[in-house]
Copies of this chain bind each other. A is one copy, B any other.
Amino acid sequence: MGFTDKLRSRWTQANSLVCVGLDPDPAKFPDAYADDDDALFAFCRDIADATAEYACAFKPQIAYFAAHNGGEAALQRLIAHINAEHPDVPVILDAKRGDIGSTAEQYAVEAFDRFGADAVTLNPYMGRDSALPFLQRDGKGCVFLCHTSNPGARDFQELIVSDGNGGGEPLYQRIARAIAGEWNGANNCALVVGATFPEELKVIRAIVGDMPLLIPGVGAQGGDVEAVVKNGRTSDGTGLMINSSRGILYASMGADYAEAAARAARELRDAINRYR
């Protein structure tokens, strides 16, 4: 089953819009992992196993693996574990890749063949030809940055671009329109929209129809769950992958870290479902 169908099935099956972000930072690991050489893998595996029931997707952030020698092997084993033990939960590799076509081909191999992800996050700045090696991968998902969650999102993403006829719209809306149109021929696109910008989320939802949206920024970054759900949901009450990383991963530093993560994921699911 392709990424988009897998995600839609999972939304219904798990009755959850929670995306569990896997951003392993050894400085924040529970004491149980203090001297564990395999902690990157083992900690994330434990979190994945504890939270899978409440997850519509897992999102490992590759930077947290790439900062360490051997990190890629840990990431590879983690995704293999998820694919084997939780095959109904799609895996989005958060990598924000973007390069010319010949290089993008290599990045597509990295995300889909080497790591076995169902989808990957991508940066659209270099244009459609840079995205084609991903878009053309049968059954794989392409999650493009649109309006990100950080304050610097305002620097360029909100600049007003001319439509050539005297009108204008913010750059992020132009990008949303392009991706929802020509780029989405295989119906395998999604967009990243930060929870910290709920008004922009509402506009983007109106542009893209029922395209899935990946929403970082609730929890540590301060995004509001009610505003996200009300402004971002589709008419059937789905359409969103609302990500939490730190709030789930580091819910407890004690021996109960897995139970605490499960509780945090369940509570976020329930908080979201109150507004669907």
Contact = CB atoms under 8 A, between A and B. Distances in A.
A156 B168 contact: no
Contact of A63 (B110, B152, B161, B178): B110
**Could you say how many copies of this chain the assembly holds?**
2
User: Main SS of chain A's interface residues?
Assistant: helix
B126 A148 contact: yes
Contacts of A106: 61, 63-64, 66-67
A153 B171 contact: no
A174 interface: yes
Interface stretch (A30-38, A50-58, A127-135, A265-273): A127-135
A230 B63 CA distance: 39
Contact of A109 (B67, B109, B125): B67
Interface in A35-55: none
**Interface magnitude class on chain A:** 35 or more
Interface stretch (A9-17, A93-101, A199-207): A93-101
A68 interface: yes
A188 interface: no
B151 A129 contact: yes
A172 to B, nearest CB: 10
Contacts of A175: 156
A252 interface: no
A213 to B, nearest CB: 17
B127 A152 contact: yes
A184 interface: no
- Between A67, A124, A221, the greatest number of chain B beta carbons within 10 A of the residue's beta carbon is seen for A67
Contact of A129 (B131, B145, B150): B150
12 contacts: A23-B103, A63-B110, A66-B107, A66-B114, A127-B154, A127-B155, A128-B152, A129-B150, A130-B148, A156-B174, A156-B175, A162-B162
